[in-house]
Amino acid sequence: MKQLVALLLGLAFSVCVNAQPVPLGTAANFGVLAGSAVTNTGASIVTGDLGVSPGSAVSGFPPGIVNGSIDVADATAAQAQIDLTAAYLNAQGRAPGTVVAGDIGGQTLTPGTYTSSSTLGITGNLTLNGAGVYIFQIASGLTTASASQVILSGGATADNVFWQVGSSATLGTGSSFSGNILAQASITVTTGATLNGRALARTGAVTLDTNGVASPAGPGVPGSPAPSSLILVAIGLVSAALYLGRGRLLQAFRRI
């Protein structure tokens, strides 16, 4: 009984933790943040700050436009990289969730954690439906096909979608992507692709080519846990209460 209660409480705690957004810290101020360089071709528009650290190479602005500050190898960019590392490790360290593999285009997913042990692709449309937090733990690379879309519906917001990428991410030509990309290495946003979210690369470069990147308004807020999550929490709490009060229950039955 004691072991069962501990297991249920552990599951409930894990569910509650995974329902929280990944804290981005000062990295939330950036639409684009790179470790080595930021390069741009064409009339890209970045809404939010743009930064690089510890590298110092930024090119293509203009013709690109940054609706925010540009921080190159300064204290602000350095702190943002520290916060990005913490966010990356936070997302990576969450309890594994629903296993996904290969190409997840054509699916509709609800809030939760999704775990891939290899690369992950998106061809066609991926719909994220429902208010809450979405965390994708990807062991290797993330690649989206040309003209693919990540669609938000049912109250889902880009601020609460997190893509933790173990290597590099590439967004296909003319694609539309949503969420915060936290990449270990580089992020390439190819010609005409749009990003409703943030391109945050720890060690490598962020490469843009006639793109629109719009950083969400804030670092995200907790969403409502799914019904199954609430059930697990309730079971854990009831089991704990029963276990802790077992002595009184036994005495009551003996009197009867």
| Per-residue pLDDT tens over the stretch 132-146 | 999 999 999 999 999
For the record, the structure tokens of 94 come out as 């969450």
Burial class (CB in 10 A: 0-12, 13-18, 19+), 159: buried
What's the chain's average pLDDT? 86
* CA distance linking residue 213 with residue 146, whole number of Å: 17
pLDDT tens-digit readout, 70-128: 999 999 999 999 999 999 999 999 999 999 999 999 999 999 999 999 999 999 999 99
**Whole-model pTM?**
0.81
CB 46 within 8 A of CB 68: yes
Per-residue pLDDT in tens (0 to 9) along the chain, 256 residues = 555 444 444 444 444 445 899 999 999 999 999 999 999 999 999 999 999 999 999 999 999 999 999 999 999 999 999 999 999 999 999 999 999 999 999 999 999 999 999 999 999 999 999 999 999 999 999 999 999 999 999 999 999 999 999 999 999 999 999 999 999 999 999 999 999 999 999 999 999 999 999 998 754 433 333 343 444 333 444 444 444 455 553 454 455 5
Buried b (16+ CB within 10 A) or exposed e, 188-209: bbbebbbbbbbbbbbbbbbbbb
Output the CA–CA distances (angstroms, integers) from residue 118 to 101, 110, 143, in the order listed: 7, 21, 12
Domain ranges of the chain: 1-19+225-241, 25-214
Strand pairing partners for 30? 49
- Give the three-class secondary structure for 146: coil
E strand spans, 104-175: 108-109, 112-116, 120-122, 125-129, 134-138, 142-144, 149-153, 161-165, 169-171
- Which conformational region is residue 109 in: left (phi greater than 0), alpha (psi within -120 to 50 degrees), or beta? beta
